[in-house]
Structure 1
Amino acid sequence: MKSILLKSVFFFFIALQLQAQELLPFVENYSKSDYQGDNQIWNVAQGNDDAMYFANNHYLLRYDGVKWEKYTLPNKTIIRSILIEGDKIYSGSYKEFGYWYRKDGTMHYVSITKNLRLFDEKDNEEIWKIFRFNGSLYFQSFNDVFIYDGKTIKKIKFPFLISYCFAVDKNLYVASVKDGIFKMNGKYISNPKGWNVLKKTVVHAIEKHQNKTYIFTQKKGVFVVSKEGLKSWDNPINETLKSATINVAKFIKGEKLVIGTGNRGIFILDLKNNSYKIIERDNVLMNNSVLSLGFDKENDLWLGLDNGIAHVEVNSPISFFYDNSGILGSVYAVATINKGYLIASNHGIFEYSSGKFNMMPNTQGQGWNISLIDGKYIIGHNDGTFSYENNALKKINGVSGGWNMSKSSINDTYFQSTYSGILVYDNPADLSQYKIIKDLAKPIKYVAQNKKNEIWAADNYRGLYRVLLDDNYNTLKVENVTQQSKIQNDFGIKIFEFRKEILFLINNTWYTYNSISNKLEENALFNASFKNVTDVVSIDEDHFMVLQNDILYHIYAEGNKFVWNIIQEKYYKGKLINENLRIFKKDNYYLFNLDDGFISLKLEYENKQNSKVEIEAFSNDVLIPSQSKIKFNTELKINVISGIYGASKPNLFYKLDKEKDFVSISDGLIILNNLSSGYHSVEIFKHDGATYDKVSTYKFKVAEPWYFSFWMILLYLLIVGAVLFFYYKWNKLRYMQKLKLQAEELKHQREILEMELKKENEINLQEYEKHILELELQTKSSEVAGKSLSIAKQTEMIDKIQEILEKEKDFSKLKSEIKKAIKINEVNKHEWEIFETNLNQIHNEFIINLSKKYPHLTPKDIKLCVYLKMNLSSKEIAPMMNISFRGVELHRYRLRKKLSLTQDENLSKFLLSL
């Protein structure tokens, strides 16, 4: 307890001493690491191409909202000043001035002083300022002024050291370092009457505003020109400016004056109410030394710092409250009070008044919500509920965790959601009196009512409940509607009231309650209009805010139509407190909380996004105009340039080749890789949250890969032609060889055929000869057989005759004649010899085989075998062998033995089988 008390005293003491931060415009700082240049920014101007140009020592910087470019002069000298007219960016440097122009995506320089002897060799002259006066350009150094009419250059040398020249109306003033200000009249100069106070004073700006001329000095503050001369500016801030060291000053839109200083950043003075804001290193500026001021077409401010660049959105409808100290902590709710702001944070409840924080007593810890009820601020806190009224705070109950306070749509009853349930305040005049909704003792985050005796409650974790009550807020029935509706994913439900209708945002889907089916049904209008919404907060009956894809949109309802206004993500990226976005509306503006402060936004805020964009595409740092061709397998960088740097910067998306999904353009840059060859189209769309409107198209062609180029295709054709040619030659050669082989094969086949025919002919001839021989043999065999029979008959007859004759010995003469005849018959023995020869020829092969097989056979045996093979009987054989029949039989018997034949084997058949 003691440590808590000490801690609270410490916070209270620190809070009392801490200098608070006013509502400030959004500031975007750019360091050297962003633009890759030098420290000092001597001059700032916006070109006709909407790009911002900066004189940055050795570089001319160019920034189009997407990428930074830097360029150096040919002689590498320091650039001190720039002036933009038309498409030319004039620059001044050491003994040099000229102009730049843009072509093919890069800057080109043309020297005006080249080959001209304008500068004295002994002087180290640098051109510190360029301005137009009386139709000519003036290039001013610390010693001279060079007047350029577009053709010739005239040099005016002054007898004193110059700080700056100023063109005011039709007057030209020259500020010297020691002798004050001189007014030029042609070639003559003179000190204006009553301006002697400026002697030995450095003047950095002379500006005219509402018929008054203001002179801004470095260390003596601001003077105003009067008829009597000069008088010190009658403004309390003037004393502060004397010590701040004025470097530059400009009047801007809305009766405001911007003064850049050497050690206090910038002062933004509102001349209507004599108030001012300081933007310096202690709050949002990266450097306190402001060297130059510039403006863009949105009337926002660009600061050239001693070490960097800052973009200050002084003309934006959005303002910011920052707590860089960390004492305030994360802001959960904020409300306006007469003397400042009332803030609920995770550190406690703070009162902001007179530029200081004041932690309210006994409020250390988590603050949740601030609601204005009947002139009193009701604060939900971890330790209970507090009421703030007339600069005093009192505790009205000790129920922990007052998350949200909501008013009934049908009466003046208020419902408070807490850690442990719902509190009911039915008498706004006496909030110390409350009732507790029974039977719902759980952490409830949101409550709403649009019907009598019925309220809706969303659990902090999951579940939606419909609570039926009697007139005294006693619980009659509690229904878990998400369970009844069979909605599975019912975590983190949001309740949203729109024109007295209650909607439920559950898992990115909008529902309303159907009292007939007693279930939730999807709401067609909101689901069609508000897709991918993760949070929604009401502002008033016609205004609300949604968080869609991490981007906030201010929505204004016109009938059943919704007007979307994007709030740039850069204002709150990484600073929104998850599911704890709270809005406090006051008059024509509203506040919503951030992790380190809060944002103030005008209720009539309308973001008219710029529809005009410029596209610059580069491949290998070479500009690729639309309808051009790039090499295959190269990276294409497409810069989508809106020329808008502030709140109205469009939210851009693109589609490649009419793909289905829209792709967000991060920081205005599209990088395309791995593109197929052929024609491609990139369509650029502006997205207001509800619709995608096409604003531009970039078309290009990706060349065929090198291996499909014209020359490669020609080479392929030549190779294919050569291959076909050689294939043809080879095929022809192979064909000729094949023909040759076929011819040789045919020749060989013909030779084989001839040989076969010859062989066949020989065989046929042999067969024929054999056939002839067989015929002859057959004939001879027949002859032999006939002869054999004839001879046998003859022999038999002769033998018989001889036998008869032997018997008839008396017939001597007959006998003599018969003997004579017999001798004649013996003469026919020659025929027998022929017979034996023919017999041997016919059976020569048989005789040879028989002799080889049975070499022990005698000629008579062989002869008998031949006769038997001829199928002659023993009787026929006997006379042929000149033996008796019995002798033949005996010979046959012996032959069987020689042939080793059994008794059952037939001798004739055996011989025929050989």
Structure 2
Amino acid sequence: MKSILLKAFFFFLIVSPIQAQELLPFVENYNKSNYQGDNQIWNVVQGNDNAMYFANNHYLLRYDGVIWEKYTLPNKTIIRSIMVDGDKIYSGSYKEFGYWYRKEGKMHYVSMTKNLHLFDEKDNEEIWKIFKFNDAIYFQSFNDVFIYKGKKVKKIKFPFLISYCFVVDNSLYVASVDKGVFKMEDAKIANPKGWNVLKNCVVHAIEKHQKKTYIFTQKKGVFIVGKNNLIPWSNPLNETLKKTTINVAKFINSNKLVIGTGNKGVYIIDLNTNLYKNIDRNNVLMNNSILSIGVDKENDLWLGLDNGIAHVEVNSPIAIFYDNTGVLGSVYSVAPTKNGYLIASNHGVFEYGSGKFSMIPNTQGQAWNITEINNQYIIGHNDGTFVYNNGLFSKINAINGGWNLSKSSINNTYFQSNYSGILVYDDATKLKENKTIKNLSKPIKYVAQNKKNELWAADNYRGLYRVLYNDEYQTRKVENITQQSKIKNDFGVKIFEFRNEILFLINNAWYTYNSLTNKLEENELFNDNFKNISDVVAIDESHFIVLQNGILYHIYANGNKFVWNIIQEKYYKGKLINDNLRIFREKNNYLLNLDDGFISLQLKNANKQNLKLKIEAFSDQNLVNNDDKIKFNSELKIHVVSGIYGAQKPNLFYKLDKTKEFVSIKEGLIVLNNLSNGFHSITIYKHNGANYDKVSSFEFNVAQPWYFSFWMILLYLLFVGAIFFFYYKWNKLRYLQKLKLQKEELKHQKEILEMELKAENELNIQEYEKHILELELQTKSSEVAGKSLSIAKQSEMIENIQRILDSEKDFNKLKSEIKKAIKINEVNKHEWEIFETNLNQIHNEFIINLSKKFPNLTPKDIKLCVYLKMNLSSKEIAPMMNISFRGVELHRYRLRKKLNLSQEENLPKFLLTI
């Protein structure tokens, strides 16, 4: 990266005067780490493509404001000189000269000496200077001059050692090392009359300015050509130059002379005032040896150093005052005086004038603000308020921290905001007389007034107050307007007076006060024109400065239209003091405080810059033209070349395709990665702070990724075809397997069906066997019933026998025998129990269902129900239940009631349904 070194002063003691330089032009230094080349820069030129070219020992350097390029000769020799002619860059080296041209984003070399045998083998000739004269191009070494004209090369050999050749008007002068300067006409040379003083003297430059010819010698200073002799330059600087070793000199800007020395850097002399500035290693430059001087189209200097390159913006509206020692500290305010400058910093108050720089005694500490009133300077300080008048410094009050001093817009009253409130100065001629706004004990940063007995005060931290007071400055009312307006983020409120109107910048939005609603309302004009503003500083009724996204812009108000002029960030990057920007007007210049110094700038009222951009895009180090195609997933570097290196360098942004976001272009380079395939467009915009104006565009096409190429698509089709083929085969195999499975399934189904039929047959057999068993059961039941009937009849027979026997009383013996026989034939108890058990087993399901349905039935009732289900008569049942016939009938009657049967319902049939 390029290092921006802005060194202006060396300080030794705080309280004693120290030497200082005038304000210096802004300088950008480039070292080997920037351009990756060698030390010495022998020659500097600007090409017709606006790029800067440098002869840098083994390299030809090219810098277009975006990137550095370096090239070597085919024979790797040292390049001593270069010159521009049209689109060609001529270069001279050891026994070699030729030209370079640019094609496809790269420089290409063509040798003009190949196969010509122009150099003697015994000579160690190097081409130290190339110039054009009478439509011919001259290549000068220390012994010879080679003249190229009409594709032919003519060699002229001199009888002495040459230092340099110079073209003045229509004459060519040859400076020898020890024999003086000769005027050359064709191949003849002669010493001009009266120039003998130049013998044994090395001449490093002959320049003509305002009809005067100046001769710059290495150690004898500067001479001016008179009628018949040479006259030493009368400027007092001439004696100093004799001790510095003049290496190169050039007139620029019609009134400036630039002299590069071997040990004291560069001198820039204003010929109108005879004032000069010396830029060397003590302030800005990287070293003191100046080998070459180049001038670009902006009339700024490019210095070729013994070790590096310096870009000096001598034609810039910017001048720099910078302290790199830390003695001065952060500058909070600066004001011009008759004798120089008055500077307020966090270290104290400093006075600069006549080359002397010193701290004013007893002013150590934080100094905030300098305001000029009636040719005297009011200084707000941490220890109170001071006044500076014609070199005299005095204290007018001891109230701490005078941040700002502002004048009322309705009268000549001044208000000073400080750590504890507001001071009032009714009479600017009597500054020691002041009053305090009572009942307002707050740290107030800004104050403004445009209405009698009303003040606007911004707290140092947060809040905006409307202060109403009477003629004795007694506070009648204090209102927090930001709270009343329900503005939550009211930190760091800034008050801005514009054309007798007071505006408030709060959280990047602009407000004005509505006296009817007693609230703040957004200001449409300023919110439309000034967005993302973090700070604003008034200069006068038509000029002010705003800070937008870290960039300063000077605003010229023309009616309700605003002209924006960018102040390039490189002049103050990292050096602005947040919330403490101040501007002091010095005639046509404006002084802006910085963290370690200040800058002086000239502000314009118009922005009429016509910008032409050149776009060079590279992918894989190959030039990409407009509408070209680049590889997918490759990096694209786009160089946006403005050809402007100084103060007029534009603030550029770009948009990719149809995105809404504007992206800042840093150092002219756009790097794009991970682009999707297809067409893309880059649109370049110039941003003046208010508007984005389209200035150029670039379109390109990103190729399809390799996996979408023709052969890959063909491969994909083959692959898909193979997939379909194998899928068909696989599907066919599956179909055959499915048929096989279906066949096997049918076989299994048949087997299952056969098994089911077999099972069904077995079930039918079981059912049949069950039916047989049921028949057998019924048979047994019939047998049981028969047996029961037999038993009943037997019992009846026995009963009849007993009755007969009872009636035959005369046959006692017979009676006894018959009774004995009857007892023998009587059914025993065990057989009866077996009978009942069998009967219950046969009718078990019936008994269970009957018991569930009629749980109130007794065992005797259930036994009767079983006999009835067997369709036995009461007469048959009576002996089985060991009751009489009538008892059976009575039991049946009771059973019908328990079963809830009507008279019409048949009891046995009912029991069969259970």
TM-score computed with the length of structure 2 as normaliser: 0.80
Instruction: Specify the SS of the correspondent of 1:667.
Output: coil
Greater CA deviation, 598-607 or 235-244? 598-607
Aligned to 2:765: none
Tell me whether 1:337 sits opposite 2:326 in the alignment.
Answer: no
Aligned to 1:483: 483
Distance 1:127 1:15, change over 3 A: farther
Alpha-carbon separation, structure 2, partners of 1:471 and 1:166: 78
Aligned to 2:327: 327
Deviation per residue, 1:10-62 (Å, 9 max, x gap): x9955544211211111000011000000000001111111111000000000
Instruction: Specify the SS of the correspondent of 2:667.
Output: helix
Alpha-carbon separation, structure 1, partners of 2:684 and 2:35: 26
Aligned to 2:148: 148
Aligned to 2:405: 405
Q: CA deviation at 1:631?
A: 1.7
Q: CA deviation at 1:587?
A: 1.8
Distance 1:338 1:423, change over 3 A: same
Deviation per residue, 1:600-647 (Å, 9 max, x gap): 112436554452211111122111212122222222111111111111
Unaligned runs of 5+ in 1: 1-10, 764-848, 850-901, 906-914
Q: CA deviation at 1:659?
A: 1.0
Aligned to 1:369: 369
Q: CA deviation at 1:542?
A: 0.4
Q: CA deviation at 1:393?
A: 1.0
Task: Provide the identity percentage.
Answer: 75
Q: How does 1:673-684 map to 2 (within 5 A)?
A: 673-684=673-684
Q: CA deviation at 1:564?
A: 0.4
Aligned to 1:772: none
- Look up the equivalent residue of 2:519 and give its one-letter code: K
CA contact (8 A) 1:607 1:647 kept: no
Aligned to 1:500: 500
Instruction: Specify the SS of the correspondent of 2:284.
Output: coil
Alpha-carbon separation, structure 2, partners of 1:282 and 1:412: 47
Deviation per residue, 1:664-722 (Å, 9 max, x gap): 11111111112222222111111000011111111122222221222111111111122
Distance 1:603 1:649, change over 3 A: closer
Aligned to 1:829: none
CA contact (8 A) 1:652 1:684 kept: yes
Alpha-carbon separation, structure 2, partners of 1:272 and 1:331: 32
- Look up the equivalent residue of 2:243 and give its one-letter code: S
Distance 1:157 1:168, change over 3 A: same
Aligned to 1:62: 62
Aligned to 2:422: 422
Instruction: Specify the SS of the correspondent of 2:242.
Output: helix
Distance 1:12 1:641, change over 3 A: closer
Instruction: Specify the SS of the correspondent of 1:243.
Output: coil
CA contact (8 A) 2:14 2:359 kept: no
TM-score computed with the length of structure 1 as normaliser: 0.80
Aligned to 1:159: 159
Distance 1:445 1:741, change over 3 A: closer
Alpha-carbon separation, structure 1, partners of 2:141 and 2:589: 49
Q: CA deviation at 1:730?
A: 4.4
Aligned to 2:904: none
Instruction: Specify the SS of the correspondent of 1:639.
Output: strand
Tell me whether 1:700 sits opposite 2:726 in the alignment.
Answer: no
CA contact (8 A) 1:317 1:605 kept: no
CA contact (8 A) 2:15 2:361 kept: no
Instruction: Specify the SS of the correspondent of 2:545.
Output: strand
Q: CA deviation at 1:745?
A: 9.3
Tell me whether 1:296 sits opposite 2:304 in the alignment.
Answer: no
Deviation per residue, 1:751-805 (Å, 9 max, x gap): 99xx99xx99xx9xxxxxxxxxxxxxxxxxxxxxxxxxxxxxxxxxxxxxxxxxx
Aligned to 1:792: none
- Look up the equivalent residue of 1:389 and give its one-letter code: N
- Look up the equivalent residue of 1:257 and give its one-letter code: L
Aligned to 1:622: 622
Aligned to 1:318: 318
Aligned to 1:305: 305
Tell me whether 1:21 sits opposite 2:36 in the alignment.
Answer: no
Aligned to 2:718: 718
Aligned to 2:351: 351
CA contact (8 A) 1:610 1:649 kept: no
CA contact (8 A) 1:681 1:697 kept: yes
Alpha-carbon separation, structure 2, partners of 1:330 and 1:338: 23
Alpha-carbon separation, structure 2, partners of 1:404 and 1:749: 107
- Look up the equivalent residue of 2:279 and give its one-letter code: I
- Look up the equivalent residue of 2:220 and give its one-letter code: K
- Look up the equivalent residue of 1:500 and give its one-letter code: N
CA contact (8 A) 2:21 2:277 kept: no
Aligned to 2:199: 199
Alpha-carbon separation, structure 1, partners of 2:375 and 2:519: 39
Alpha-carbon separation, structure 2, partners of 1:507 and 1:14: 40
Alpha-carbon separation, structure 2, partners of 1:12 and 1:253: 36
- Look up the equivalent residue of 2:508 and give its one-letter code: N
- Look up the equivalent residue of 1:268 and give its one-letter code: I
Aligned to 2:613: 613
Aligned to 1:766: none
CA contact (8 A) 1:465 1:480 kept: yes
Tell me whether 1:265 sits opposite 2:265 in the alignment.
Answer: yes
Aligned to 1:378: 378
Aligned to 1:227: 227
Aligned length: 755
Distance 1:470 1:740, change over 3 A: closer
Deviation per residue, 1:192-240 (Å, 9 max, x gap): 1111111111111000011110000111110000102101011011111
- Look up the equivalent residue of 2:695 and give its one-letter code: V
Deviation per residue, 1:842-897 (Å, 9 max, x gap): xxxxxxx9xxxxxxxxxxxxxxxxxxxxxxxxxxxxxxxxxxxxxxxxxxxxxxxx
Distance 1:282 1:203, change over 3 A: same
CA contact (8 A) 1:15 1:356 kept: no
CA contact (8 A) 1:51 1:62 kept: yes
Alpha-carbon separation, structure 1, partners of 2:451 and 2:744: 112
Alpha-carbon separation, structure 1, partners of 2:607 and 2:69: 29
Instruction: Specify the SS of the correspondent of 1:574.
Output: coil
Aligned to 1:112: 112
Q: CA deviation at 1:728?
A: 3.3
Alpha-carbon separation, structure 2, partners of 1:110 and 1:606: 46
Deviation per residue, 1:490-547 (Å, 9 max, x gap): 1111000000100011111111111011111111111111111111000000000000
Instruction: Specify the SS of the correspondent of 1:666.
Output: coil
Deviation per residue, 1:257-285 (Å, 9 max, x gap): 11111111111111111111111111111
Q: How does 1:454-603 map to 2 (within 5 A)?
A: 454-603=454-603
Aligned to 2:912: none
Aligned to 1:687: 687
Aligned to 1:278: 278
Tell me whether 1:74 sits opposite 2:64 in the alignment.
Answer: no
CA contact (8 A) 2:203 2:217 kept: yes
Alpha-carbon separation, structure 2, partners of 1:536 and 1:750: 96
Deviation per residue, 1:810-846 (Å, 9 max, x gap): xxxxxxxxxxxxxxxxxxxxxxxxxxxxxxxxxxxxx
- Look up the equivalent residue of 2:690 and give its one-letter code: A
- Look up the equivalent residue of 1:374 and give its one-letter code: N
Greater CA deviation, 361-370 or 51-60? 361-370
- Look up the equivalent residue of 2:354 and give its one-letter code: S
Distance 1:57 1:15, change over 3 A: farther
- Look up the equivalent residue of 2:419 and give its one-letter code: Y
Unaligned runs of 5+ in 2: 1-10, 762-771, 773-834, 840-914
Aligned to 2:216: 216
Kindly name which structure, 1 or 2, has the bigger radius of gyration based on alpha carbons: 1
Instruction: Specify the SS of the correspondent of 1:244.
Output: coil
Alpha-carbon separation, structure 1, partners of 2:66 and 2:304: 19
Aligned to 2:671: 671
